[in-house]
Amino acid sequence: MNLKEKVVIITGAGSGIGAASAKLFGTHGATVVTSDINLENAQKVAEEIKAAGGSASAIKTNVTKFEEVESLIAETVKVHERLDVIVNNAGIGGANQKKTAEHTHEDWHNVIAVNQTGVFYCMQVALQQMMKQGHGNIVNIASLAGLKASGNNLSYSASKFAVVGMTKSAALEYGHKNIRINAVCPGYTHSALLDQLLSTRDDMGDILKRHIPMRRFGEANEIAEGVCWLASDNSKFITGQTLTLDGGTSL
């Protein structure tokens, strides 16, 4: 993949898909800025990239705070002079698995703030910089839950449907500005969010795998491959699309 020397920000890079993507970008020669609300985790990933011969640094960011998003992008541009790619990966699930009538307001506000508003903030500030420099690439991490119904999960589903919609709307607006915007929609993938779901009942893993034609969960590095491909010049005629990586679950 053609990613050499691209300046890349990844939010939520301290673990899961974000960490796997950051490391893969580093392997392909990109300059990686690992961003996470947990600075220690972001620094650990950055150090692993550097230890493998790559270039990386870490910045603490709470994507629900607009001024922190502004600072993240401003600091990146100050050091590296541009922003080629931003991967909007930071995301959370609700603390409770409840139907809509019982859905907690706390879960609603927390999930929407990170998964939807956080992506909007990052897109908005990144687009302003990308228009100044005349190019850019945004990859948003949505979910299979943003393409099809997901029960007991209203705020998460709503936020991920929103990410898909924001991706398509912004891609339509900025395609003529040499800015590409796409989304990745993972299915059930080994992560903290999946662990949270599996903990709800002993047989949840078996139940979920029965809905996956490949009969297994995805791995973070498999999702990272799709992220890096969309961010690379190998996909330069693709914009406004959702790349579904779900082992066939959506079938």
Q: Check the CA dihedral 29-34-39-42 and report its sign.
A: negative
218 within 8 A of 144, measured Cβ to Cβ:
no
- Tokens (6 digits) for 149: 């119904």
Please name the residue that has the structure tokens 């990170």: 114
Active centre residues (catalytic)? 156
51's CB contacts (< 8 A; 6+ apart) are: none
C-alpha closest to that of 159 among 84, 220, 103 = 103
Burial (0-12, 13-18, 19+ Cβ within 10 Å), 224? buried
Kind plus residue range of the DSSP H or E element containing 248 = none
